[in-house]
Amino acid sequence: MVLLEAATPDLAPDALARMSIGQRDAWLLSLRESRFGPRVTGIVTCRACQEQIEVDFDIRQVRASPPASTAPLSVSQCGYRVDFRLPGTGDIEPSIHDGDVEATRRALFERCVVSAHRDGREVSAASVPPRVVDAVEARMGAADPQADIRLTLTCSECASAWAVTFDIATFLWSEVEASARRTLLEVHTLASAYGWREADILALSPPRRRFYLEAVTP
Ligand SMILES: [Zn+2]
């Protein structure tokens, strides 16, 4: 949300918090594509043979369709009927129970329940049994596929295949962090060599900055 607020000032912060995770991640994928291009490369360790394998894909390959509507969804199972909405970023933090994945999952479920009924009578979200929660979770995933990007990797050495989750929020954050550190180092190099102010160095176009950097670094 910090990245999106900085990059898209037109989006109100509360609108960002209400977006489903998939809608938010679609914005993050677009932001990544506009700032760093569509190709994603990385190194992953094979789970079977520990070989380092290269991962390389295009952002467009992991694009999924957005949720069909923002109206609440509904699941009927085991005599229960649960109406719920898709979770958004604003639901995550209040649901977190440190180190307890199951409690976090349950809290997130309860936050997203609009109403729950058993045999036609209203019941609390807390009383909904785990298998109905599982069904709701599966429906959430199917309705908002962009929220859960899975990549199937195949090791070039031992041919074993496995699935990994690609979290665009964590990935882009680390890229922005690395890029910021690189920029500060460039400012440091040019300021030390020429005595220029930080603001003036940042105002240089990228080709000019690169020219001066090449001129001062052996
Ligand atoms: Zn392998």
| pLDDT digits 0-9 by tens, 47-64 | 999 999 999 999 999 999
Mention every residue, 6+ apart, whose C-beta is less than 8 A from residue 29. Answer: 59, 62, 63, 146, 168
Q: Is the pTM of this model over 0.85?
A: no
38 Cα–ligand 1 center, Å: 27
- Averaged over 156-173, what is the pLDDT? 93
Residue 200 CA to residue 177 CA, distance in Å, equals 22
pLDDT at 183: 93
33 in Cβ contact with 25 (< 8 Å): no
pLDDT, tens only, 65-122: 888 888 899 999 999 999 999 999 889 889 999 989 999 999 999 999 999 999 999 9
pLDDT at 215: 94
86 Cα–ligand 1 center, Å: 37
27 in Cβ contact with 4 (< 8 Å): yes
> Which residues hold their Cβ within 5 A of ligand 1, which is an ion?
46, 48-49, 51, 155, 157-158
159 Cα–ligand 1 center, Å: 6
108 in Cβ contact with 92 (< 8 Å): yes
Mention every residue, 6+ apart, whose C-beta is less than 8 A from residue 167. Answer: 149
165 Cα–ligand 1 center, Å: 18
Using CA of residue 90, residue 128, residue 76, residue 131, what is the dihedral sign? positive
49 Cα–ligand 1 center, Å: 4
Which three-class secondary structure state does DSSP give residue 161? strand
150 Cα–ligand 1 center, Å: 19
Residue 204 CA to residue 111 CA, distance in Å, equals 48
pLDDT, tens only, 140-161: 999 999 999 999 999 999 999 9
Least confident of 8-22, 71-85, 137-151, 202-216: 8-22
